[in-house]
Amino acid sequence: MEIRFDNKVVIVTGASLGIGKATAIEFGKAGASVVVNYNRSKESALDVVETIKSAGGKAIAVQADVSRADQVKTLIEKTVAAFGSRIDILVNNAGSLLERRTIEDMTEDLWDECMEVNIKSVYLCTQAVMPYMKKQNYGRIINLTSIAGRNGGGVGASHYSSSKAAVLTLTKGMAKELIPYGIIVNAVAPGVINTPFHDKFSTKELRESFVKMIPVGREGEAEEIAWPILFLASDYATFIVGETLEVNGGQLMD
């Protein structure tokens, strides 16, 4: 089974590192024209673009803080300017834990910023691509949530886990509203993945404790999340609507 995205335009938010990077590269290798969105990591985003081009694909890097409506508007405008007036696939990957902090030590600013980065961005980007997808009567939207949205996450991650739980329910709500327009919405919930996210937010000891809870006995790799994303965006998944695909090495089974 070969999955191809020739003549498809794909936006991947937060695509300069980790899961977003792997996803953008895999879409590019599969023939898509890819918009590599980034906020701060410009050099990393440009490296992703070059990797895609080296594999024979098309890609551009676009800076935008996708928790800000005006910058999302710019992201869409630059996408259309580069690849024409269609947007086929949106991967709402941008997100962050920002920092670990217990409820007792949580600040209102940190809580609000986490919600903006992880859930407001999903709403803003989805709303922005809807006119194009509705006109086409075709679209695929894949939201990135997390195992933390199901199990509450580790210590100091309640703000992050709450935001990712919100993505779970927003995915279902969006799926119900958009399916009449040929727009299929699903989500992927990664478990513990070997990415810069955990390099930054999880100690070696914490990561080792996570691995002990994973039946396959290791962390996942970013590509192991990218591949299910491509599957959900493909024509092999047209009867999957409003679902969240758990990809966690068996850490959470239900």
Residues belonging to the active site: 160
3-state secondary structure of 197: helix
Strand partners, 61: 36
11 Cβ neighbours under 8 A, 6+ residues apart: 35, 37, 75, 79, 87, 89, 90, 91, 125, 129
Angle made by CA atoms 36, 130, 63, in degrees to the nearest 5: 25
Residue among 198, 186, 208 nearest 157 (CA): 198
Q: At what angle do helices 42-54 and 18-29 cross, to 10 degrees?
A: 20
| C-beta of residue 45 within 8 angstroms of C-beta of residue 15 | yes
Q: Name the DSSP letter for residue 237.
A: G
Angle formed by the axes of helices 69-83 and 121-136, nearest 10°: 40
Within a 13 Å sphere around the CA of 167, how many CA atoms are in the beta-carbon half? 39
Contacts of 230 (CB under 8 A, 6+ apart): 3, 5, 23, 26, 27, 30
